[in-house]
């Protein structure tokens, strides 16, 4: 047991230290996300910041001119686009672009698909954000962030502990639930714990950290939390064939996980809205896999 504890501690330290490989956000994006978090956010200041980042500006304009917004004519002004999108959609798009840029600077092990990881994370974020429109939870504004970052621990484990990660994949096979059990068997901890601990360094809201930590825990009876919403979104996205890595496959009803959040009457509408936003040019998913 002592040997196991020692190896567990060493694996934990190595996984967490993997976050040090990530560079900080660019100064423009840092200022922009800070501005978008303010209650008295200024569209003028936000517009001026976005105009300084050509990648963000291009994605914002592409999104607002996409079919999902059904507009006649072309919007060519960033500030006009911001007024159409609104602060929430703008924040989500900027965050998705920024996180994708960070992930792409990592060098994951051979066989790891960053494209699949980004696509899955963005899809979970989009669906979680759709769910909280219909499910009353505390801190619903954190749904997109929690969904986008819920699997960071998987990336850190794969990057810092590639040999152990291959053992996890071999033991877990195609089933994401079996891979969770394999994490505990091989490492002595799970990726959700790694995600939460690593993200404390970014000073994220406590509600977001708790949701990320709890996103594999079954919801308590009679109480739907942000973590339960992320869990439902994660399971649904896996069942829709958008896994975080190749080799993961779940053949089951994708709607069933949504019922656990109490969204029964709106489940079809939620999935329809999700599919439309998923396909939007310039949206969070398009930004993540560009």
Phi-psi region of 203 (alpha: psi -120 to 50; beta: other; left: phi over 0): left
pLDDT at 288: 54
Written out in words, the top-level CATH class of the domain with range 2-22+109-288 is mainly alpha
Convert the pLDDT of each residue in 209-249 to its tens digit. 999 999 998 877 777 899 999 999 999 999 999 999 998 99
- Across residues 73-79, what is the average pLDDT? 85
Share of the chain above pLDDT 70, in %: 89
pLDDT at residue 187 is higher than 90: yes
What pLDDT, in 10s, does the model give residues 14-31? 888 877 777 676 777 777
| Mean of pLDDT values over 155-184 | 93
178, pLDDT greater than 50: yes
For residue 167, is pLDDT > 90? yes
Cα of 31 vs its chain's centroid, Å:
21
So what's the pLDDT on residue 284? 59
The whole-angstrom separation of Cα 18 and Cα 159 is 7
| pLDDT for the residue numbered 86 | 85
Q: Give me the residue spans of the domains in the chain.
A: 2-22+109-288, 23-105
Quote the mean pLDDT of the chain: 85
Counting residues of the chain whose pLDDT is more than 90, the rounded percentage is 35
pLDDT single digits (tens) 190-215: 999 999 998 887 778 889 999 999 99
pLDDT of residue 89: 83
Quick one: pLDDT band at residue 42, thresholds 50, 70, 90? confident
List pLDDT tens digits, range 132-161.
999 889 888 889 989 999 999 999 999 899
Q: Which pLDDT belongs to residue 223?
A: 79
Region for 218 from its dihedrals, namely left if φ exceeds 0, alpha if ψ lies in -120 to 50, beta otherwise: beta
Q: How confident is the model at residue 2 (pLDDT cuts 50, 70, 90)?
A: very low
| pLDDT over threshold 60, residue 258 | yes
Give the pLDDT of residue 1: 43
């Amino acid at each position: 047991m002592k040997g196991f504890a020692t190896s567990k501690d060493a694996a934990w330290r190595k996984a967490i230290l993997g976050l040090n490989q990530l560079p900080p956000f660019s100064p423009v994006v840092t200022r922009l996300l800070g501005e978008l978090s303010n209650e008295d956010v200024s569209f003028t200041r936000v517009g001026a910041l976005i105009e300084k980042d050509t990648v963000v500006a291009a994605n914002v304009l592409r999104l607002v001119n996409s079919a999902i917004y059904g507009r006649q004519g072309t919007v060519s002004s960033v500030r006009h686009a911001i007024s159409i999108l609104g602060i929430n959609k703008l924040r989500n798009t900027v965050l998705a672009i920024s996180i994708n840029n960070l992930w792409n600077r990592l060098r994951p092990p051979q066989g790891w698909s960053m494209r699949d990881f980004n696509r899955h994370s963005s899809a979970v974020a989009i669906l979680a954000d759709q769910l909280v429109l219909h499910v009353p939870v505390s801190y619903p504004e954190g749904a997109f962030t929690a969904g986008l970052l819920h699997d960071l621990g998987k990336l850190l484990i794969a990057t810092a502990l590639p040999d152990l990660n291959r053992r996890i994949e071999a033991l877990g096979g195609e089933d994401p639930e079996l891979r969770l059990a394999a994490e505990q068997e091989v490492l002595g901890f799970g990726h959700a714990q790694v995600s939460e601990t690593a993200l404390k360094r970014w000073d994220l809201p406590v509600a977001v950290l708790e949701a990320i930590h709890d996103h594999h825990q079954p919801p308590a009876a009679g109480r739907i939390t942000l973590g339960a919403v992320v869990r439902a979104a994660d399971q649904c996205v896996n069942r829709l064939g958008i896994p975080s890595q190749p080799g993961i496959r779940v053949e089951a009803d994708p709607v069933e996980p949504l019922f656990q959040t109490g969204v029964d009457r709106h489940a079809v509408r939620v999935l329809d809205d999700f599919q439309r936003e998923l396909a939007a040019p310039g949206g969070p998913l398009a930004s993540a896999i560009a």
